[in-house]
Every structure is written in structure tokens, then in C-alpha cells.
Structure 1
Amino acid sequence: MPPPYGAAVVDFAEALTKAVDSSGLSLERIQHHLAARGMQVSLSTLSYWRRGRSRPERPESLKVVAALEDLLDLGEGFLTDRLGDKRPRGRWVGQAMSLEDMWDSRATDLGEVMARIDREQPAASRYLSVKDRQVVGPDRREVEMRCTGVVEALEDGVDRFLAIQLADATDIGIASIEAGPPCRLGRVRSEETTGFLVAEILFDRMLRAGETALVDYVVRMKPGADSEVCDRRFLRPVGDYVLQIDFHPDAVPTRCYRFTRPSLQEPETTVNELWIGNTGSTHIHVRNSKPGIYGVRWEWE
């Protein structure tokens, strides 16, 4: 029999929140029970579902929802029926994207690493502007990525955000990270098995909604092969984005292309060839961008 509050609840996030609260189980215990059933889901993913920041859509996620219905004694279809229509694909959307949109099957791995830093996800924030500068060395391998930008708080109480880096399959190790003033480095978690590095970038003060902070950090890579692509993945819209690639004079590619991708479920779009200047540098500049993936790829031969 459905819970007594069921008839009044039409939203998936609200239904899940009330069911969890009524069960008396913590998210950690729920995660443990799901793991016992052979289902791996991160604490951050469960938290996102409860707070409405993302919702389950992939087949694996929907199996977890069905297991939650049984675990929380909700009745078959109680949560699933409240998911509504699937979000539109193949077009830009104005709302925040989920980890699954940007990281596909690796979203669970990323969520696990994020949860080890903070079981309750950091308050919402977004880049108003950001510049990434990637340096490629004489051996055609990545050297470092420097990020500078302006971050806006979307709610009160924001004092940090998470920087994410994923090692390539050919990298010999996880990247390292350093932060410069006015921000500083907080907790850092990395996993050799998944290739993810997640680090807290701490602001110099607590922000209220609408206030901004400056960020400056450097990621130093440990590449094991020639680099071929560099991209940035935005879960929320960004006002102004610049990606600059500086190639060493002894390692200038023959061609460079810019590309855009709404999510990992969609193909690349806006593929244009880029000019490589006589200093061995190229860049892309994006204004008022939607959530998605923006990057540059190149060819050595």
C-alpha cells in the first residue's frame, strides 16, 4: 500500500525525500542496502536525486529506482511514475545538467570520489567567466592547465567549489593541483583506478547568493602519450569561456579544430578548423554558453 502522503506528491525529488525521511534510514545505509543487492550508486547521486539537481534516466539508474521502491516499502512504480517524461535530447537545455550527461558511465565513479570529500554536496555555484590555458611540451604531451575565473554563488553559504580532472587512459598517473591567491586548496581526493582527481577550491570568504569570488589554480598532468584533445565540461551555463592552447615551438600540430557537444549522449557539433598563430597558440572563445562540452582537438600528422 502506498504511503499516506503519496497522493499529494507529484514530484520525484519530493517523493524520494519524504520516503527516505519516513524510513529513518540515512543515505549511507540506503547505499549499503543497494550495494548488497548488487547495485552501485554514489552518495552524491542519491543526494542529487533528493534535491532535484538531477534525476535518474539511464537504464542502470532506473533499476536503482525500482530497488528503492522495494527497499523503502513504496510499492511498485511509486517513484518511477513520478519521473515524468524524459528530458529532451539533441538540443541545448537551460537548466543544470547531471553528472551522467557530462561523464556518462563514469558518473558513478566521479560521484564516489566527490562523496569522499563532502557527503552533502557543496552549495550551488557557477562560472560567470573562466579562462583555461593548456600548455603542450616539446614531446607533444600535456604539461599543465591553468584556470582563472569568476564564480557566482547561486545560494547563500557558498565558500568553495570542486575542481575535477580526469586522467587519460594512457596517463602514467593522476594529475596534481595547486591553488593560488585569493583562493586556496582544500581537501583533495584522487583514485588511480578511475583516473579522477577532485579538489576543493576554497574561497577567501563565505558568499551570499549573487556574490562572486575569484579562482586561480593549476593542474599539472602526468601524460604517457601524445596529447590530442582538451575540453571543459560545464554542468551550468557560463557567461564567458576562453580555452587557450599553447604548443611548444618543437611540437606544433598540423591542424586544430574546435568542437561543441551538448552532452556525451550527443555527437559533436560546431566543428571548425582553428588558426595556429606564429607563436604556436590557438584558442576558442564562447559567450553565453549552454551547459555542455567545449574543446579543441588537433592532429600531429
Structure 2
Amino acid sequence: MRSGNSEVRGSDDSSGESFSSALRSAISASGLSLDRIQARLQRRGVPVSVTALSYWQSGKRQPERQSSLSAVGALEEILELPSGALLGLLSPPRPRGTRSRGRHRPPEQTLTFPREALQQLLARVGAPYALEEQHKLSLVGLHDTCKIAADGGQRAVTARCVFQANADRQDRWLLVYNQDNVEANPPLLHALRNCTVGRAEVDVEHGLTVAELLFDRPINRGETHLIEYSLTNEGPPYPECQNTHYREFRSPIREYLLEIRFDNGCVIRNCWQYKQGTEDNSMDRRELTIDGTNGVHAVALDFGPGVFGIDWL
């Protein structure tokens, strides 16, 4: 599970045009040099180097941090483009650190954090072979609610999960949570319904938490079990979440509902859902509409393995 970190932007773009090519074309059409564009950004209080602008239009890098995304919004105005014309072409962020989503890696081994770090935590909670074992529980339904504070940080995530047993006497589920903001304290895990927290271990360096969620009763093959839990952060200030929340699914799931609820102090311009498969790295993205309660949601059906999330600006 990934939260807060973990960036963008998407819309339905049937033309297949990339962010870099669209930016390059817009700059060429404007007749402005990169130096003049930088000066206009500076006057708007958005500092961006000429080198960064050059990298963006060449495709060597893409904007990911909040300050860079703000610069892209300003670029749309300077280059006289419709709102979202560039932001909507940005892809979700690349995984950070040493983790990799190699094209030829088996889907069940695709992780957005170092496998070795996860392996060590699994061993410490008594499940050293969890990554290699056949799944004895299937996650058939999941509803995440991510609450964003007025300062833009992640206040909490609440999850409601429905499992189905593929073998008898299943009595626990291993939660793996990745928080990109490693400078923040680990979130507090609370069991809310039909479960208790068992052994839990934290890797502060990689922002990883692994914990047992022990079912109130064992379930047998074919039976289902519903649990709820939450992860809450200290604040304010709350941990920076890089304007995104996503889940990485190592196995298919029938239904995933993701809600983002923004504090009334949050002013949100745009939201996108994005999903990326692991087998062919295909990307699908679509703009979302913020509802009357200053929230947004997206649903994935029969999805996975892959990454599904919501990003905002």
C-alpha cells in the first residue's frame, strides 16, 4: 500500500502525445526562449532553472514535486494553453530509492520498495517466506479512505478489507505499508473492526511498516472475513504526501474503491485517477470531478497486478 507520495497527472489523452513533446511544441509556438520563460516564472514567484525547463522539454526528467507542478500550471498560462493541457499529460511518479518495476520482473515480485528491506521485516514478524508462499487469502474487496489535512499532509488512512480463504484455518493478514516521507514518524496502526494488531515491525530508513492483523476467528476455505483498520499520522504539520495516494496490488482484486477527503482548508484545482499494469507497463489515466464534500473517488474493477491511485493539484 502506498500513500501520499507517492504524483501524476492524468487525463483521457487519445492522441498519445507526451508531456515533453507538448511542452516543446508550445514553447516553439510561443517564440519565447527558455531564459524569457524562466524570467516570467520568476515574476510569478515560481522559481525554476533553465536547466530544469530544458530537461522537461527533452523528456530527460518530468515534474513531480509540488513546486514543479505549480510551475507547470504557470507555464500553461505563460504559453497560453488551456488549463490542464500540460498537467494532464504527466505520468505517475517513478518509484523512489532502489526499488524497481522492471518490465521483465514477475508480477508477483513487483514491489515499489526494496525487496530485501521487506524480507527482513517479514522475518521479524514470523513470516520469512510470505513472498514465496502461495496466497492462502484473497483480497476480494477493498475500500480506502485517505484524509488530507489543511496543510496538504496526510492525516490518516482508513481501510475496509474483505478476504476470502483459499485454505482452512486462516487467522491473519500481513499489512505492508510504505510511507515515502521517511523523515516523519511511522503512522499509528489501529485495529477498528473484527481484528487486533499482532506483531509489528518498522524500517524507518525505507518508511516501511509490516504488521499482523489477527482475525477475531479463523476462517476456512471459501469463507469471507471483513476487517477495518486505520493508520494515523502525528500533526500538524502532517507528513507530506506528494499529492497522491495509491495501492500496489501484487494479485488481482475484484473491486477497489479509493476515496480522498480534503480538509475544508484545501484548495484543489484538479484530480486524476491513474492505473498501471505490471505486465506491459500500460498506463491509463482519467480526470476526476471533486464532489460537493470536497472529496473525490475512483473505482478499479477486476484489476491487478499493478498500481492504482489518485493524484491532485
Aligned residue number for residue 122 of structure 2: 114
In the alignment, which of 226, 244, 249 is matched to residue 229 of structure 1? 244
1:60-209 matches, cutoff 5 A: 97-99=107-109, 101-103=110-112, 106-118=114-126, 119-121=128-130, 124-169=136-181, 171-209=183-221
- Indicate which of 217, 236, 259 corresponds to 1:244: 259
Q: Which has the higher contact order (CA 8 A, sep 6+)?
A: 2
Question: Which residue does 1:275 correspond to in 2?
Answer: 289
CA drift at 1:224: 3.5
1:290 paired with 2:266, answer no
State the Cα distance separating 1:156 from its structure 2 match: 2.1
Cα deviations by residue, 1:210-248 (Å, 9 ceiling, x for unpaired): 211111000113544354110011111111110000001
Letter in 1 for 2:273: R
Question: For this pair of structures, how many residues does the alignment match?
Answer: 206
* Secondary structure class of the residue paired with 1:102: coil
Which residue of structure 2 lines up, in the alignment, with residue 75 of structure 1? none
Q: Distance in 2 between matches of 1:169 and 1:212?
A: 34
d(CA) in 1 for partners of 2:144, 2:241: 19
> 2-side partners of 1:98 and 1:179: how far apart?
27
SS of the residue 1:98 aligns to:
helix
Matched residue type, 1:176? L
Deviation track 1:260-301 (CA, whole Å, cap 9, x = no partner) reads 0113x86561111110112110000111212211100111xx
Match of 2:120, SS state, is: helix
TM-score (norm. length: structure 2):
0.61
Shift of 1:103: 2.3
Query: How many angstroms apart in 2 are the aligned matches of 1:255 and 1:159?
Result: 41
Return the alpha-carbon distance in structure 1 between the equivalents of residues 267 and 165 of structure 2.
39
After TM superposition, the score normalised by the length of structure 1 is 0.63
Q: 1:239 to 1:276 in 2, by over 3 A?
A: same
Partners of 2:280 and 2:181 in 1: CA distance: 22
Paired residue type of 1:274: L
1:211 aligns with 2:223: yes
**Cα 1:268–1:245 shift into 2, 3 Å:** farther
% identical aligned pairs: 23
How far off its partner does 1:199 sit? 1.0
Deviations 1:108-142 (A, max 9, x none): 21121112102343862121111000000111110
Q: What SS does the aligned partner of 2:193 have?
A: coil
Q: Is the 8 A contact 2:108 2:305 kept in 1?
A: no
Q: How far, CA to CA, are the matches of 1:167 and 1:188 in structure 2?
A: 15
Question: What CA distance in whole angstroms lies between the structure 2 residues aligned with 1:171 and 1:293?
Answer: 24
Q: What residue ranges of structure 1 are gaps of 5+ in the alignment? A: 1-59, 61-86, 91-95
1:183 offset after TM fit, Å? Answer: 1.2
Distance 2:306 2:241 in 1: 25
Q: Is the 8 A contact 2:180 2:206 kept in 1?
A: no
Which secondary structure does the structure 1 equivalent of 2:123 belong to?
Answer: helix
Residue identity opposite 1:276 in structure 2:
I
Classify 1:177/1:110 alpha carbon distance in 2 versus 1 (closer, same or farther; 3 Å): same
Per-residue CA deviation, residues 133-152 of structure 1 (Å, 9 max, x unaligned), is: 00001111100000002111
Q: CA deviation at 1:102?
A: 2.6
